[in-house]
Structure 1
């Protein structure tokens, strides 16, 4: 091999590496994000230190669905992980440890704790989830700052970073598709 062909191969390798890095950066910025769970508000399903991949694309092409697990900007400094319980137009309340969505009882098989009775009107002064917002709860209902709190309230859909799609750490809890209605099974 002469020096020109070696140089050409090195330049081809560098171009390929640069293209690969640009693609990875674009995927990271526009399609996916990493998230580290901090706190116990989603226990027993997600724990402090769990590492997740969040799909940012999910809500660019569709609306949040009830029971999706999402990451959202709670304020300028914190991002929270919570479960969507109500979507725009939904009426949500709890009575005798049973979730009611639009007056229909819904079993939440992913919960292991009691949820105290409430209505959205009592907590937030609204009968229904406003347009452009969702109502979220943590799975650890006794230790979760969520939509029941005026500091969080209804979450603007524009504040949602994305839908949790993969748990990759700890390895023994690796799971794809950790968000959504399959949690009800």
Structure 2
């Protein structure tokens, strides 16, 4: 049997090498495209960056803090921080506080903490600053000061109706929230998302780089 010329073996090896390189390049390109696609899907449908505007959530959040929120998440738990489009505000039309109607809200996007959900009864003692939910006094280590400001939206105790949440800012003396007629009861469909993590903060507020980050979910 005649032997293959050495030159032909070299050409064959070079062709195999080129095919291998092209295959590797195609795999890398496919992985890169898939990674970009997943990244875009996550940040389009699951995570969304937002920037805090204002001081109503001090000391937990400061003006210009950068957050990632989970969207859509319209069933947050008590104590979680939410981003809300305050287009409409829920009020009671009767003294028994059972019939709800809506008025125009502040028409701005706000960040607040969920204090009570549908079916829960909230009571606020503005003399002592104590907040009670379903008969249990709330431990609120995150607030800047006790809840002594009453903006007159409701009489307490009050049961949150179906489809709404009651929210307050951590800076209780400087927050316009469910105590105020402009926010009042927040319709759940106006919840944009739940705050997942803080990933950015002004360096002047941070003792170290670690202070820029906080898990808040």
What's the TM-score once normalised by structure 1's chain length? 0.79
The alpha-carbon deviation at position 98 of structure 1 amounts to 0.5
Aligned residues: CA RMSD: 2.6
**SS, match of residue 15 in structure 1:** helix
- Residue of structure 1 equivalent to 2:9: none
Q: Equivalent residue for 2:153?
A: 123
State the Cα distance separating 1:138 from its structure 2 match: 0.3
What's 1:182 paired with? none
Q: Cα–Cα, structure 1 residues 29 and 115, in superposed 2: closer, same or farther, change >3 Å?
A: same
Larger radius of gyration: 2
Q: 2:121 aligns with which of 83, 91, 96?
A: 91
The gaps in structure 1 that reach 5 residues or longer are 180-185
CA contact (8 A) 1:93 1:117 kept: no
Q: In the alignment, does 2:86 pair up with 1:55?
A: no
The reply on whether 1:150 has 2:181 as its aligned counterpart is: yes
Unmatched 5+ residue regions in structure 2? 1-13, 88-105, 202-208
Q: CA deviation at 1:16?
A: 2.9
Q: How many residues align?
A: 173
Instruction: Name the SS of the counterpart of 1:38 in structure 2.
Output: coil
Mapped partners of 1:123, 1:151: distance in 2: 8
Alpha-carbon distance between aligned partners in 2 of 1:48 and 1:130, rounded to the nearest angstrom: 32
What is the CA deviation profile of residues 10-59 of structure 1, one whole-angstrom value per residue up to 9, with x for unaligned ones?
554443332222111111122111111111000011101111111226x3
Give deviations 1:71-119, integer Å, cap 9, x for gaps.
1212396321100001001222211210011233223121231322659
TM-score, normalised to structure 2, is 0.69
Structure 1 segments (4+ residues) deviating >4 Å: 1-12
Give me the whole-angstrom Cα distance separating, in 2, the residues matched to 1:84 and 1:45: 14
Structure 1 counterpart of 2:103: none
Query: In the alignment, does 2:117 pair up with 1:105?
Result: no
> 2 CA distance for matches of 1:6 and 1:91?
67
